Structure 1
Amino acid sequence: MLDRILQRVRDYSPHLLEPEGPLPEAAVLMPITRGESPELVLTLRASGLSTHGGEVAFPGGRRDPEDDDLMQTALREAEEEVGLAPGIVEVVGPLSSLISLHGIYVTPYVGIVPDYVEYRANDAEIASVFSVPLEFFCQDPREVTHRIDYQGGAWYIPSYRYGEYQIWGLTAIMIVELVNLVYDAGIEMRRAPASYIDLTR
């Protein structure tokens, strides 16, 4: 499975948005554990944060002027937030860029990490660190679907429930792109699923 993840992400040509004007840049790391049953490592952001407080997210943050590129931003932020040493991350490649609701240009990077890492959450930013089997998302076990207007069209974004955690928004978009790429999951975000009920009508 790991070989397939490596091959498909390396061969992938992500969609890179071209914003109309300059935007602040950020990057996140999508850590996947090395093993027969790969897992995605996620964080629950501290509730007191001014943006995305109490939400599930990948380790990441805004680009610093000292960062050589956005990949370095993702690795630096992962180390600062969860104690993940850059030297043990095998960065495979980027997925498609996104623009957050706060107008930030976000690029996700897929990275392979050992499955024995002891994460150290930065209490000022991170409430907890947890992992989810990548295959969990393949059957699209969505709890609800959120419709958002994004990039000039309607998007139907799944919201997943894993234990006590709700996984939605940009994080869910990144996960869907990953499982579609690696598993041919065929999860559609540009069309309403059969289960979708439009409550605005």
Structure 2
Amino acid sequence: MMLHQVEERLQNHQPRTIDAQLPEAAVLIPITNASEPELVFTRRAPHMNTHSGEVAFPGGKRDLSDRDLIHTALRESFEEIALPPEAVRIIGQTGSVVSRFGLEVTPIVGIMEADTPLRANMAELDRIFKVPLSYFLDKDNLTFNHWKLRNQDYMMPSFYYGEYLIWGLTAVMLVEFLNITLDADILLNAPHFNSHFPRAKGMFQSCSMDG
């Protein structure tokens, strides 16, 4: 029932676009089709130059040879977690966001078989893990990180799951997905929706988290 609602909402959703003229990237939001649907996440390896140790959806920059951003998301997912493109059924996408490194990132949503074997590319990742979709709908699992950017305050959502912290751009994309598809109604006022965000790189400060 939950997956049916997710698919139906995405089919009727008009994703936001950002006319930023920035390099493009895409991530896959993979959902397992188990009786208890789960989202698949990765954790970046500590030796990576960017995003080291951060939790992320599989994905990356668009190559010139990529047909479209769906192709980008599937190619990167195969390279990072050995998820075969044919094992994913694409059901839609959510709005583009801007990363602090100046990329316009488009989240692509796909459903995969729950028992699909995955393998982390250790050159880029140190972990693959899954989180029940229902976990993110429990408000007790939600915290907010207060950001101040150019004299404006933002309430940035984040989630702790065991040893993992899901925050930043990944949390922004996750929460927008939850709000669109499952009526999560989580406050989301993120600078990542603004094409000027990358030019503010390095100009924000984060404050303490509140439950």
Asked whether the equivalents of residues 81 and 118 of structure 2 are also in contact (C-alpha less than 8 Å), the reply is yes
Kindly provide the CA deviation profile for residues 131-185 of structure 1, in whole angstroms up to 9, marking residues without a partner as x. 00111111232244232549x9643111211011000001001111111122211
Q: Residue in 2 aligned with 1:7?
A: 8
Give the % identical residues.
Answer: 45
Q: Residue in 1 aligned with 2:186?
A: 187
Distance between the aligned counterparts of 1:55 and 1:3, measured in 2?
30
Distance between the aligned counterparts of 1:28 and 1:65, measured in 2?
16
**Unaligned stretches of 5+ residues in structure 2:** 191-206
2:11 maps to amino acid: R
Distance between the aligned counterparts of 2:188 and 2:144, measured in 1?
13
Distance between the aligned counterparts of 1:112 and 1:137, measured in 2?
18
**Unaligned stretches of 5+ residues in structure 1:** 192-197
Distance between the aligned counterparts of 2:80 and 2:93, measured in 1?
20
Q: Residue in 1 aligned with 2:177?
A: 178
* Root mean square deviation, CA, Å: 1.9
Higher helix proportion, which one? 2
Asked whether the equivalents of residues 29 and 109 of structure 1 are also in contact (C-alpha less than 8 Å), the reply is yes
Asked whether the equivalents of residues 176 and 188 of structure 2 are also in contact (C-alpha less than 8 Å), the reply is no
Number of aligned residues = 190
Question: Please, what TM-score do these two structures have when normalized by structure 1?
Answer: 0.89
Asked whether the equivalents of residues 43 and 56 of structure 2 are also in contact (C-alpha less than 8 Å), the reply is yes
Distance between the aligned counterparts of 2:94 and 2:180, measured in 1?
10
Q: Residue in 2 aligned with 1:142?
A: 142
Question: CA 1:183 to 1:148, structure 2 compared with 1: closer, same or farther past 3 Å?
Answer: farther
Which stretch shows the higher mean deviation, 10-19 or 104-113? 10-19
Asked whether the equivalents of residues 147 and 154 of structure 2 are also in contact (C-alpha less than 8 Å), the reply is yes
Question: CA 1:148 to 1:7, structure 2 compared with 1: closer, same or farther past 3 Å?
Answer: farther
